[in-house]
Amino acid sequence: MFNLLRVLEQFLRFIGCLLLALQYGRLLPRQMISQLHIAGVSSLVLICISALFIGLVFAFQMYIVLEGFGSLPQLSQVVAFGLFRELSPVVTGLLVAGRVGSTLAAELGQMKQAEQIDSLLMWGINSYAYLMWPRLLALLIVTPILVLAFDAISIYAAWFYAVTLHGMESQIFWTPLVFGSIYFEVDVLYGMYKAVFFGGWIGVMSLYQGAFVERGSSGIAKASTQAVVLSSAGVLMLDYVLSQFLY
Amino acid sequence: MFKKRWMDLSVGSFFILGLSVFFFLSSITGQVSDEKLGAYQLRARFDDVSGLVNRALVRISGVTVGQVNDIVIVPDTYSAMVTLTIFDPKLKIPADSTIGVYTEGILGSKYLSIMPGFSDTFLRKGDEILRTNSAVVLENLFSKLLLFFGDK
């Protein structure tokens, strides 16, 4: 119990330092670009592959079900509804948590252990402004874009399954998206809003784990594991809460 | 130096890709303000629309041509005023057409079906379809049946 309170205090202090560091914030473009590269560009392939196969599986399963009811023209609508609203932000969040969150925690943990963060302090550089914010900001910017990529690729995967493999009319596939109940402002944009929250959550959790790493090489292992566990579980919880509020 | 430039390029193209996907998705999905493509609205007054909901489909010969936008009560007559959108501006509906509330299957969702008339004048934006068939409510049907058998 006492331990839990101490962790909570540590976490709140971390958030406080993060917010206070905003006044020293001078965004370095080079820092920012390399962080955007790490968080965004290098996750893109993973996101695209996942989107491709999730779209295919979703279309495959829905095809069987809808064929039974003779409502195959609704296929794209069903796929888009399930993917755009829930699956695409959540899966993107989980993948980013696994790919970027662990990297951040390990990187920061290594820096902390090598006393690089302390030496930054010696130079009078605020490590929160210099190290944490570019990473956090990169995640906040990149996650919604990754969600968009996920959306587009998964709907194309469903199109490939229905049209190319099963000979559905391409026009019939696309029309329900425009005239059905899939709205850009609701389904696609709300997925992006969610992604911003997920990105922030993953960033804060991973950076916190890295910044307060334990001594020894097992400390880094523990920090990166904790980062992934906390961010993944958090993404799923946040998703429910945000869905309640948004829709 | 080369590596740096490559990184700049990849980050830049990442954003361009994101932007183009944004516009692509907005073009393939519907907009809430669905006035695009010249879709036009019609009205119809029903005695009973039980089970009909917003966004329910409007069909002609089983082909989806529009959707229900709004269902409100008319205070004077206590009938239901349904506003529906026809997606295709080129699709002209004769003025003496009949519109009815139907059910998909026995327990399925309700939809509107328009049976085109033979008039040479066509309905324009905001016009009212005058001939309407209300929803068949199963309970009413059963109670009629019970009365019928009760008499015997």
Hey, of A184, A188, A192, A247, which one would you mutate to test binding to chain B, going by the most B CBs within 10 A of its CB? Answer: A184
CA–CA gap between residue B25 and residue B20 (Å, rounded): 9
Hey, of A146, A148, A190, which one would you mutate to test binding to chain B, going by the most B CBs within 10 A of its CB? Answer: A148
User: Which residues in chain B have their CB less than 8 angstroms from residue A80's CB?
Assistant: 29
Give the model's pLDDT for residue B67.
Answer: 83
Residues B25, B28, B31, B34, Cα dihedral to 10°: 160
CA–CA gap between residue A148 and residue A161 (Å, rounded): 20
Residue with the bigger pLDDT between B129 and A73: it is: B129
pLDDT at A144 exceeding the cut of 70: yes
Kindly indicate the confidence band of residue A12, based on its pLDDT and cuts at 50, 70 and 90. Answer: very high
pLDDT 10s digits, A74-86: 888 888 888 988 8
Give the model's pLDDT for residue B1.
Answer: 64
CA–CA gap between residue B34 and residue A149 (Å, rounded): 25
Contact B14 A177 (CB under 8 A): no
Structure tokens at B132: 């309407």
Give the residue-averaged pLDDT of B91-109.
83
pLDDT at B33 exceeding the cut of 60: no
Structure tokens at B17: 């890709």
- Please, which residues 150-169 of chain A have a Cβ atom closer than 8 Å to chain B? 151-152, 155
| Closest-CA residue of chain B to A183 | B30
Residue with the bigger pLDDT between A71 and A52: it is: A52
Structure tokens at A110: 């290594």
Most confident of A168-172, A188-192, A202-206, A213-217: A202-206
Give the model's pLDDT for residue B76.
Answer: 87
Element (H, E) at B70: strand B63-74
What ipTM was predicted for this assembly?
0.81
Q: Which residues, 6+ apart, have CB-to-CB distance to A5 below 8 Å?
A: none
Contact A145 B15 (CB under 8 A): yes
User: Which residues in chain B have their CB less than 8 angstroms from residue A138's CB?
Assistant: none
Give the model's pLDDT for residue B95.
Answer: 87
Give A138→chain B minimum CA distance, Å. Answer: 11
Work out the mean pLDDT of chain B and round it to a whole number: 83
